[in-house]
Chains A and B, each alone.
Chain A
């Protein structure tokens, strides 16, 4: 076997097949250079492994933005209209009311000339901001739910396998029954054949005169 070369890393990290591992070990028993290389690699590996992982300086927590409650002000519209009418009567000024995009604009004195700039409702954030959590994440709930779903899955799997096993056992039983019946039938045939053979032997072995 030739020298290990780059294969030393496969050996040090145990990623050789069992055959290759055995061959390599045999080679190392005879080759001091490769042995030294392996020892140096293992030493470097140990030094690296001795350097521990560090804790991140802070935690990362995702808080998903919730949809803001939509408050409908539409119910105020009739009240607004009534109030505007009262005020108009008092002011004796023409009133203009315009509906657009669920928004009501009331104008006094002159008709509405400019297009209404509808205020778009704030967009529901679909993105997640990574912010310091204002309330703690309910890990207990998440863990409980994951464990429950795992348990439910396990129970379901066990039931499935039980029913598969039962079906399999039944199939084997009926196979065996069939085989037993066949064997019993064959035994009967053999026994009958045996009787016939015995009768033939008797006939053959009886003295010649007795037949006449």
Chain B
């Protein structure tokens, strides 16, 4: 089904429709947000299949909890927050596991695929909060204030995480 001709419909209008009984309209929100949310989760988790499962779980939670959404104009920030919570529940299960730190990549000319792999590996070497701050800022263009709400942290903390994340990435990627 083509979405050509569909203007960027206000999320709010779709949320209103869903809450007024047109449950199928939720699929429009899914179509608009599944790729960004999937990529957000994938860059946090590092595994495609697991990211897909968590993405699905996030949308299911969003559907069930939609009546609790206080500000219908901030659906996307609320959805990111749900995805954040879903990921962190999963990440907490990894506490105690040992991760082998990969050697820093050398900077010599990389193809775009190699670059992509290098970036993915480098992101996985960051602590979760720094990784999340970098991902939300660089790949999702969120403001510091929005990231602070998603992470449940002060803006100054988010900026520190981003700064330290970038410093570490700079040392890994060159």
Task: Please give the residue numbers on chain A whose beta carbons come within 8 Å of chain B beta carbons, in ascending order.
Answer: 6, 8-10, 13, 15, 40-41, 43-45, 47-62, 64, 127-128, 130, 136-140, 142-143, 145-147, 149-150
Chain B residues 5-41 with CB under 8 Å of chain A are 5-7, 9, 13-14, 17, 22-28, 30-31, 34-36, 38-39
B120 sits at the interface (CB 8 A): yes
Q: Would you call B35 and A56 a contact (CB within 8 A)?
A: yes
Q: Would you call B120 and A51 a contact (CB within 8 A)?
A: yes
Residues of chain B lying within 8 A (CB to CB) of residue A147: 6-7, 9
Given A48-B139, A51-B119, A55-B35, do A62 and B26 touch, yes or no (CB 8 Å)? yes
Can you add 5 more A-B contacts, CB < 8 Å, to A43-B170, A139-B28, A142-B17? A48-B138, A59-B34, A128-B23, A136-B1, A143-B28
B60 sits at the interface (CB 8 A): yes
B144 sits at the interface (CB 8 A): yes
Question: For the complex, what is the distance from the CA of A49 to the CA of B116, rounded to whole Å?
Answer: 10
- Inter-chain contact total with CB atoms closer than 8 Å: 121
Q: Would you call B166 and A41 a contact (CB within 8 A)?
A: yes
Q: Is the interface of B mostly helix, strand, loop or mixed?
A: helix
Residues of chain A lying within 8 A (CB to CB) of residue B5: 143
Residues of chain B lying within 8 A (CB to CB) of residue A127: 64
* Max chain B C-beta neighbours (<10 A), residue from A57, A59, A138, A140: A57
Given A60-B59, A146-B9, do A52 and B24 touch, yes or no (CB 8 Å)? no
